[in-house]
Amino acid sequence: MAERPTYLLGLDAGNTVIKAVLFDLQGRQVAMHALDGKSSTPSPGHVERDLNELWDNARTAIRACVTEAGVDPAQIVAIGCAGHGNGLYLLDKAGDPLIGIQSLDTRAADLALELRGAHGEELHALCRQEPWPSQTPVLLGWIKKHRPDLYQRTGTVLLCKDFITFRLTGERVSEISDMSGCGLTRIPECIYDDRLLGLYGLSDAREMLPRLIQPADIAGRVTARVAAETGLAEGTPVIGGYFDVISSALGSGVVRDGEASLIAGTWSINQVFSSQPVDDRRVFMVSGFAPGRFVNIESSATSAANLEWYVRELVERGGHHDDPFGACNARIAEVIPAADDPFFHPFLYGSGQGADFRAGFYGLAGWHTEGHLLRALFEGVLFEHRRHVEVLASSGSIFDRAVLSGGGSRSAVWPQMFADCLGVPITVAEARETGALGAAIGAAIGVGLFPDYEAAVSVMTRAKREYLPDAARKAHYDRRFRIYRKLTEALAPLWAEMQSAGSA
C-alpha cells in the first residue's frame, strides 16, 4: 500500500491580511485561504489591530484551507508562521491580549528621535539598528511613558506571528529573525542583552521578553482546543517561524551568501544575504536567522502600498473595475517613457529619511494622462528601491542579480522596470505566496525533512521568469533618478514646515 502524501502548512500574517497556505513537499501550493482584517486609528499616527479578530481570522483561514484541500489533518506534518516585523503585540500575565500595534504606527516618532540622539551610536554597535518610530522597543518605551497602566499589566512582548504561535501552542516564544529584526538582540550572537535594554530605557522589561529559539526549532504543538477550532490535528509541531521579509526571501529561492531579495509589498524591502552582518550606520537593519546567516536590510514604507492607496481611492470608486490592478498595468503599457514625464514621491506613509516626508505628483502637464500618473507612481516606488540598493552597495552588500517578490512582482510591467533601472537581471519566483512558503520551508527543516536551508530551498522553490535589463532604458532611469533625488532634497524643508505648521 502506497504511503499517503504529507503536507506543510505555512501561515503569513501581514499588517492586515492573514493567509493559510498548504504546500506539498516540493513547495507546490495545494490550497490557500486569506482573510483581510481591520486596522484602527484611535489617534493620529496610531495604527492598531484587534488581536481577538486576528486570531479569529487565523483560525478561520486555517480551517477553510484544510477543508478546501480535502486532506486528513494528520497528513500535515508541521506548521510555520511568518509575520510582519516590528510593531508591538502585548499579552498580560494571564495570556490575554492587551494591545496590537502595527508597523505603520508613528506615535513614537519623538521618542525615536530622542533615543537616536542620546544613544544611536551605542545602540547600533549592539544591534546594528538605530531607533525608529515603529521599532518594537521604541513602541514599548512609548507605552511605558504614556500608558504606564498598560506597561504594568504586560506579561509578554511578542511580534505579530508570535501571537499566532502562542494561540496555536500556548507557548510564549519568539525566534531570532524577528527579535534581531526589531533591535532586541545583540548581533552577531542574536541573544538578549541587558545593556541593550538599558539603552532603550527598558531595564525592567527583561522578564517580558519571550523564550528565544532558532526559527526552524519547534516552538510547541497544536493544542487540543485549537485542533477543535481549526481542524488541525492535535500535537502537530509548530516551529518558531520568521520575520516575513526573510521568509519571503526563502520562499522566492534566496538563501545563499551574496544573493539578493527585493520585495515590493507594503514596504520596500531590499536585502542581501551574508555570512557576516554589515556594520554600517547607513544600513537600516540586520537580521540573523541561523548561525552564520544574516540578512542586511534596507527598507521603508514606500513601495506597493502607494499603488494600493491609488486603487482604493481613485480606481475602485463605485466598484466599476473588476480588475483594478490589471487596469492600472494596462494604462501604464499605453505610455511611451519620456524624459519629461511627471514624478511621484511614494511617501504616503512617510520615509526613513523623515517621518514628515509627503507624497505628491510633480511636473504634470495638460497632455499627461492617467497612464502617466501611474507610470510616475511605479517609477517613484522603483526609485526608492534603488536608493535603498545603493545604500546596501555602499556598505559592501553588492549583487549582480535579484529575485523580486511581493504584490509588485505580479505586475506585467514592474519587474522589467526593476531590471532596467537597477541594471541587473530580475527573477520572479513561481510561488505567489512566498512568505507562507518560506515558513513552510522552515517547518520542513524543523521536522527533519531536509538537512539544511540550501537543500530545502533547492527542492521547494522554482523561478517563473527572468527579466533582462535594457541598457538604453537604464540610461533613461539614471537621468530621471538624479532629478528625483534633487526634487526630494528641494522639498524636504517644505515638508518639515508643513509638519510644524500642522502641530502648531
Average pLDDT over residues 8-35: 96
Fold of 305-427+470-503: Nucleotidyltransferase; domain 5 (3.30.420)
Q: Provide the percentage of residues in the chain whose pLDDT is more than 70.
A: 98
Q: List the domain boundaries for the chain.
A: 7-242, 305-427+470-503
Give me the mean pLDDT over the 292-303 stretch.
94
What's this model's pTM, rounded to 2 decimal places? 0.93
- Secondary structure (3-state) at 335: coil
What is the grid cell recorded at 377?
Answer: 507612481
What does the alpha-carbon distance between residue 268 and residue 310 come to, in Å, rounded to a whole number? Answer: 17
Q: Mean pLDDT in the chain?
A: 95
Angstrom CA distances, 151 to 111, 276, 473, 476, stand at: 16, 36, 53, 52
**What type of residue is 109?**
A
Whether the per-residue pLDDT at 504 is higher than 70: the answer is: no
Q: Which of 367, 324, 325 is nearest to 342 (CA)?
A: 367
pLDDT in tens, 464-503: 999 999 999 999 999 999 999 999 999 999 999 998 876 6
d(CA 143, CA 333): 47
Residue 319: band (very low, low, confident or very high) from pLDDT cuts 50, 70, 90: low
Largest CA distance in the chain: 76
The confidence score (pLDDT) of residue 350 equals 84
Sign of the dihedral defined by the CA atoms of residues 262, 252, 266, 136, in that order: negative
Dump pLDDT digits (tens) for 426-463: 999 999 999 999 999 999 999 999 999 999 999 999 99
- Only one residue has cell 517578490, namely 405
Tell me the mean pLDDT in the region 260-267.
92
Handedness of CA 218, 220, 221, 227 (dihedral sign): negative
pLDDT in tens, 245-255: 999 999 999 99
Is the confidence at residue 305, as pLDDT, over 80?
A: yes
**Residue 217 burial by CB count (10 A; 0-12/13-18/19+): exposed, middle or buried?**
middle
Whether residue 33 is predicted with pLDDT greater than 70 in this model: the reply is yes
Residue 52 pLDDT class (50, 70, 90 cuts): very high
**Residue 179 in this model has a pLDDT that exceeds 70:** yes
Which residue, among 327, 436, 483, 299, has the nearest Cα to 11 in the 3D structure?
436
For 119-131, what is each residue's pLDDT tens digit?
999 999 999 999 9
The pairing of beta strand 88-92 with beta strand 97-101: antiparallel
What pLDDT was estimated at residue 104? Answer: 83
Q: pLDDT at position 362, please?
A: 96
pLDDT value, residue 2: 56
Q: Looking at residue 1, what is its pLDDT?
A: 43
The CATH number fitting domain 7-242, selected from 3.40.50.10680, 3.30.420.40, 3.40.50.20, 1.10.1200.10: 3.30.420.40
Measure CA 75 to chain center. Answer: 30
C-alpha cell at 37: 482584517
**pLDDT at residue 171, rounded to an integer:** 98
For β-strands 293-300 and 343-345, DSSP reports them as: unpaired
Same fold, 7-242 and 305-427+470-503: yes
User: So what's the pLDDT on residue 285?
Assistant: 97
Question: Contact 344/361 with Cβ under 8 angstroms?
Answer: yes
3-state secondary structure 176-234: HHHHHHCCCCECCCCECCHHHHHHCCCHHHHHHCCEEECCCCEEEECCHHHHHHHCCCC
Which pLDDT score, from 0 to 100, does residue 503 have? 63
